[in-house]
Amino acid sequence: NAGVTQTPKFQVLKTGQSMTLQCAQDMNHEYMSWYRQDPGMGLRLIHYSVGAGITDQGEVPNGYNVSRSTTEDFPLRLLSAAPSQTSVYFCASRVSQGSTDTQYFGPGTRLTVL
Amino acid sequence: AQTVTQSQPEMSVQEAETVTLSCTYDTSESNYYLFWYKQPPSRQMILVIRQEAYKQQNATENRFSVNFQKAAKSFSLKISDSQLGDTAMYFCAFYSGNTGKLIFGQGTTLQVKP
């Protein structure tokens, strides 16, 4: 298994540009989520999905869109990038089996908005 | 809404000694999990230890153990026999079994000194 993969690893955008951060997992996990990590603020939940076709907002959803057309993929779209969206973005998937509940994180994408 | 608080932004410990990282949380839910994640400079999020709220026994994973005080809503991580490879940022996280949200604390940077 490749686990959770994210592309790209680094990205620089100009204010107002749009882009999509890709996330994929090959573990057949139903639950996937996106976080952003900023210094001194830990990780904050942007959007999450409990299965294909179902998405919901997290703590900081403004400026971001998501979709979940397949179990494997959960892309995050920035509609009009702003400097405040400069951050490191993590995608994660979750498995829950009996008493086991574990989140698997991707390697992260460092985004800079100029 | 759930909150997770880590009141120690930075800590240091001598190699082979024991260190305890603090975490408190606030929730009105009864169905939840608590996690400690380690994030080394590579930025990858690594699960250290997990605690189910319904279990009274404190979780243990090799040199890592927790002190789970449910009534006080406290969840501290003890690292015994600290090793240089333990140097990283550590995040406490609360997972809601009802909503599926994973909420992180601000993180504690731990440095193990030789």
**Distance from A61 to chain B by nearest Cα, in Å?**
13
- Residues A10-50 pLDDT 10s: 999 999 999 999 999 999 999 999 999 998 778 899 999 98
Share the mean pLDDT of chain A.
91
- Residues B17-28 pLDDT 10s: 999 999 999 999
Tell me whether A61 touches chain B (CB under 8 Å).
Answer: no
Residue contact A45–B102, C-beta within 8 A = yes
Mean per-residue pLDDT for A2-17? 94
Share the mean pLDDT of chain B.
92
Mean pLDDT lowest for which of A92-96, A99-103, B8-12? A99-103
Residue contact A35–B95, C-beta within 8 A = no
Q: Report phi then psi at A42, rounded to 5.
A: 65, -155
- Residues B77-90 pLDDT 10s: 999 999 999 999 99
Task: Determine what percent of chain B is predicted with pLDDT higher than 90.
Answer: 70
Q: Please write down the HEC assignment for all residues of chain B.
A: CCEEECCCCEEEEECCCCEEECCEEECCCCCEEEEEEEECCCCCCEEEEEEECCCCCCCEECCEEEEEECCCCEEEEEECCCCHHHCEEEEEEEEECCCCCEEECCCEEEEEEC
